[in-house]
Amino acid sequence: MIIIHGENTTNSRQKLVEVINDQKNKNQEIIRLEAKQLTEASLEEALGANDLFGTSKTIIIEELHSLPVSKKKKNLIDLISKPQIHNIVLWEKRSLTKTMLGKIANDSNKSSFTDFEFKISKTLFTWLDSLGKTGDNQKKLQLLHSAIETDGEFFCFLMLIRQIRMLIEIKSGGIAKGAPFMTAKLNQQASNFKLKQLLGFYKELLEIDIKQKTSASLIDTVAMLDLLSLKL
């Protein structure tokens, strides 16, 4: 069994693609299942099914641990934790706790259990927190490039969009969600900007996103992040 998890969904998705390609190269049939659409019966069928030639399969289940707590969720996890004739790959958009992993990696499958976790680096959050502060622009760029090295340029770009969106919500009279220390930092950061300024940045980010997806941009993502980081 392979488990790919963590909040850095860009890197975890890349890992999932690598695993799928690797399994295809081994002539594995790929079956992709979304947990929210699964029933115990349909999962049992997928796990037990075998073709006339005995072809081994790789069954990919997405976001099983994102399901609400229920008997169904428990039973689905119990099913995949048993010895299987096919390969199982779990992709989760969150980091799984040791307890969650322990329920899957039991004595019967521990020897074939592989865990890939993709966390968000502290440097990325430090870079995001530095936006809007006056000071050493060189330090700000160093933080950005360190975050790019560990988290990837595209994920840094997505997190920048998320940060600006949260700041706009606060400046528009909304209430930040999250732990008290996190909301306090967001409220303090929002005080460094005007709403019109944030809306302008957000529009610019969306335009950059469109250009990147349509290959219309003349500079790469890293250079764009450098420019935006200095502007902020």
**pLDDT tens digits for range 140-185:** 899 999 999 999 988 999 999 999 999 999 999 888 777 788 888 8
Average pLDDT score, the chain = 86
**pLDDT tens digits for range 207-232:** 888 877 777 665 677 888 888 888 87
Assign 103 a pLDDT band (cuts: 50, 70, 90): confident
Q: Where are the domains of the chain?
A: 2-117, 122-231
Does residue 54 carry a pLDDT above 70? no
Distance CA 148, CA 124 (A): 8
φ and ψ at 107, to 5 degrees?
-60, -25
Distance CA 77, CA 32 (A): 16
Helix 153-171 × helix 221-231 angle, to 10°:
30
Q: Which residue has the tokens 């998705």?
A: 13
Hey, what amino acid is at 202? Y
Counts for the chain of helices (H) and strands (E), in that order? 10, 5
- Decide: 116 and 5 in contact? Cβ < 8 Å: yes
Whether domain 122-231 has CATH 1.20.272.10: yes
CATH number for the region 2-117 comes to: 3.40.50.300
Q: Is 3 left (phi over 0), alpha (psi -120 to 50) or beta?
A: beta
Task: Quote the pTM value.
Answer: 0.80
Q: What percentage of the chain has pLDDT greater than the value 70? A: 92
